[in-house]
Amino acid sequence: MGIYTKLADDIDEVDIIIAGGGTAGCIIAGRLAENDPSLCILVIEGGANNKDVASIVHPVFYLQNLLPTTKTALFYKGNKSKQLADREPIVPSGGTLGGGSSINFMMYTRAQRSDFDSWKTPGWSADEMWPFLKKLETYHGPGEKEHHGYDGPVHVSDGGYRAKTAEDDFIRAAGQVGFPEVKDLQNLEDNNGIQRWQRYVSPEGKRQDTAHTYIHPKLEDGQHSNLHVLVESKVVRVLFDENKRATGVEYTPNPEFQATIGLSMHPIKAVRARKLVIVTCGACGTPPVLERSGLGDKKILERAGVPLVEELPGVGKDYQDHHLVLYPYKTSLEPDQTIDGVLSGRVDAAEMVKNKDKMLGWNAIDVSSKLRPTEDEVTSLGPEFKAAWDRDFKYAPNRPLVLCGLVSCFLGDPASIPAGQYVTAGNYTAYPYSRGHMHITGPKHDDALDFDVGFFNDTNDIDLKKQIWAYKKHREILRRTNFYRGELAAGHPKFPSGSAVAVVENVDAPLSDVQDLVYSKEDDAAIEQWLRENVNTTWHSLGTCKMAPREDDGVVDKDLNVYGVSGLKIADLSIPPENVGGNTNNTALVIGEKAADIILMELRGCQPTTSKL
Ligand SMILES: Cc1cc2nc3c(=O)[nH]c(=O)nc-3n(C[C@H](O)[C@H](O)[C@H](O)COP(=O)(O)OP(=O)(O)OC[C@H]3O[C@@H](n4cnc5c(N)ncnc54)[C@H](O)[C@@H]3O)c2cc1C
């Protein structure tokens, strides 16, 4: 039992290996450990132990996890892309025990009912997922009781702090633009409105990552001698026997954490699994592990010099994300209504911790939304957009087009702006048409990756047009707030000189009698250029090893078994075959719960453990 940076020499075989101790991985480990004391379980996580790390447990410090010097995130570098104005986008991802749930923005956002149904996989419909959605949470928020869980490990609350002025103001302004307040947009049904958002934060103000909620208590209670966690160790590949049964994994100490003194310090080690290997390295991390193991597209493996074990062309294909664009605004808010003071160092972080400051439990995101355009707005976006809308959204009222959240701070380098209180609006598209890929280029764990994020590469620029709509719409909301004091020009489109919609840098008082801005063709072109130069990841990578029929490039079946081999499952955000209309942490959590249930059923002899080959 315990958490190690080096595995004891006598642990060379366990029952179950969980490769990747992230959001879903920690849930699976925790549930297996508590339900079957006879199982010997080993989690192998590339990042470090996250126990009581200040930037993780105190929500208000969450942005520290994205600093270039951080050791809690992984930074996947995307290929240079024409449709992104020749940028090489970076996709940060969880790189510590607890994975994304340890470093994310903690917005409690569930997928929509139609999302699970769109997966068209027996056992995974919305109705079948309800018990797992409830099982994972203890909900302290608004809405109908029947839609939430009340005795799960993950507390969902507002963490004991809200900045009501901005929240009320934004909700009132959004109402004027046509979006009503909805009590609970996380009930799988409701859509097209604004909500007072909840967070993965306990009422006492502590982040609810899956390591602190599912793993650490068990490592410390003296009752789970079956649970072992190896951190700072990268899984290189899965090992197979001659019958293509997964027999274990190879791993290596992570040089990010463990000093290299000559090659011998970083040996490739092996550990065997008697029953099962589960790969759960996230949508960016899982395809490289599979491909290094010989599972993937024949040509890609050949190019990388990896012998083929099973041809699975779907591995690493069809990468998806939600596309995010951020817009900063000046405000009249007070210092306790944004976290700019904390980010700029004007507020002493150590003092906050010492004084158990209430703001420690705040992620500064009190309000967000799931939004759809009107039919007139759809028409104004052109015939191609209208055709896509009519096909995929018009008769699917459960699907949002865009989510727009308000972050109460400047989400950038505080040194680049005058001291003050800011807000940043974030627009992200829910069901992008664009697709990318994630592949290896060589057999070693540190060989470069061939990563195409695919943002804005869809036919007819439908994804880009969604963002144009979102830009105009959110700007109208912000212009109607009382706290609005202008736009930070560096974070907005560069409209042509003389444009009637030019960025307004300073106003002394709220705008009065606000009318919708009317954009010319040239203005639209400026927005488009801005979007190409600035669209980024929402850190919602997904869909790179789909749960789908094998002939449709599926990689796993409904029980998460990898096709063509046995003793190997995948359980993380690689598996959703279709995207979801919300931030993705909840979907990763519920995949973890569902996976644990599938595995426990199989171990009890209730279900087959191998896929149809
Ligand atoms: C900055 C950020 C902000 C976000 N904000 C929100 C939010 O507010 N709300 C929300 O709902 N969602 C949010 N998300 C998304 C959400 O957190 C992720 O979708 C989710 O955590 C993914 O879970 P996962 O289990 O698929 O993968 P992860 O949680 O990423 O787990 C994968 C784990 O595998 C490890 N790993 C990778 N490769 C290897 C290897 N070779 N060997 C060993 N270990 C390896 C990683 O270190 C990681 O711990 C955010 C994500 C990020 C990064």
Residue 33, domain CATH: 3.50.50.60
Among 104, 234, 367, name the best residue to mutate to test ligand 1's pocket (greatest count of ligand atoms within 8 A of Cβ): 104
Long-range interactions of 129-137: CB distance < 8 A, separation 24+? 129/590, 129/594, 132/590, 132/593, 132/594, 132/597, 133/188, 133/586, 133/590, 135/593, 136/27, 136/589, 136/590, 136/592, 136/593
Phi, psi of 557 (to 5 degrees): -90, -175
Cβ 253 under 6 angstroms from ligand 1: no
List active site positions.
Answer: 540
Q: In this structure, which residue's CA is closest to atom 12 in ligand 1?
A: 585
Same domain as 327, residue 400: yes
Cβ 332 under 6 angstroms from ligand 1: no
Residue 57 assigned as binding residue: no
Please name the helix (run of DSSP H) or strand (run of DSSP E) that holds residue 370, with its range, or none. Answer: strand 367-370
Nearest CA-CA partner of 443 in 312, 240, 300: 300
DSSP secondary structure letter of residue 139: E
Same domain as 346, residue 310: no
Q: Which range among 138-152, 246-260, 371-385, 506-520 shows the weakest confidence by mean pLDDT?
A: 246-260
pLDDT of residue 264: 56
Cβ 322 under 6 angstroms from ligand 1: no
- pLDDT higher for 605 or 360? 360
Ligand 1 midpoint to CA 94 (Å): 4
Domain finish residue from 515, 534, 553? 534
Helix orientation angle between 585-603 and 23-35, rounded to the nearest 10 degrees = 30
Same domain as 512, residue 418: yes
350/524 Cα distance (integer angstroms): 46
310/307 Cα distance (integer angstroms): 9
Q: Give per-residue pLDDT as tens, 15-60.
A: 999 999 999 999 999 999 999 999 999 999 999 999 999 999 999 9
pLDDT of residue 11: 85
Cβ 289 under 6 angstroms from ligand 1: yes
Same domain as 338, residue 200: yes
- pLDDT band at residue 261, thresholds of 50, 70 and 90? low
Nearest CA-CA partner of 35 in 606, 605, 608, 604: 604
Residue 125 lies in a domain: yes
Name the residue with tokens 């061939």: 450
Does position 259 have pLDDT exceeding 80, yes or no?
no
Domain that holds residue 121: 107-206+323-429+457-534
- pLDDT band at residue 10, thresholds of 50, 70 and 90? confident
Is this complex's ipTM strictly greater than 0.90? yes
- pLDDT higher for 185 or 607? 185
Cβ 93 under 6 angstroms from ligand 1: yes
Q: Give per-residue pLDDT as tens, 440-460.
A: 999 999 999 999 999 999 999
> What's the sign of the alpha-carbon dihedral 177, 183, 187, 189?
negative
pLDDT of residue 613: 36
Same domain as 526, residue 549: no
Burial group, residue 612, by CB count within 10 angstroms (0-12, 13-18, 19+):
exposed
Ligand 1 midpoint to CA 538 (Å): 12
Residue pair 236/50 in contact (Cβ under 8 Å)? The answer is no
Nearest CA-CA partner of 585 in 127, 107, 92: 107
Same domain as 572, residue 524: no
Ligand 1 midpoint to CA 60 (Å): 19
Domain finish residue from 534, 551, 585? 534
- pLDDT band at residue 612, thresholds of 50, 70 and 90? very low
Nearest CA-CA partner of 534 in 451, 412, 452: 412
Cβ 238 under 6 angstroms from ligand 1: no
Mean pLDDT computed over 331-355: 97
Ligand 1 midpoint to CA 5 (Å): 21
Residue 540 assigned as binding residue: yes
Q: What percent of the chain has pLDDT over 90?
A: 96
pLDDT of residue 611: 42
Mean pLDDT computed over 474-480: 98
- pLDDT band at residue 609, thresholds of 50, 70 and 90? very low
Counting from 1 in the atom list of ligand 1, the atom nearest the Cα of 97 is 49
- pLDDT band at residue 327, thresholds of 50, 70 and 90? very high
Residue 84 lies in a domain: no
Counting from 1 in the atom list of ligand 1, the atom nearest the Cα of 572 is 26
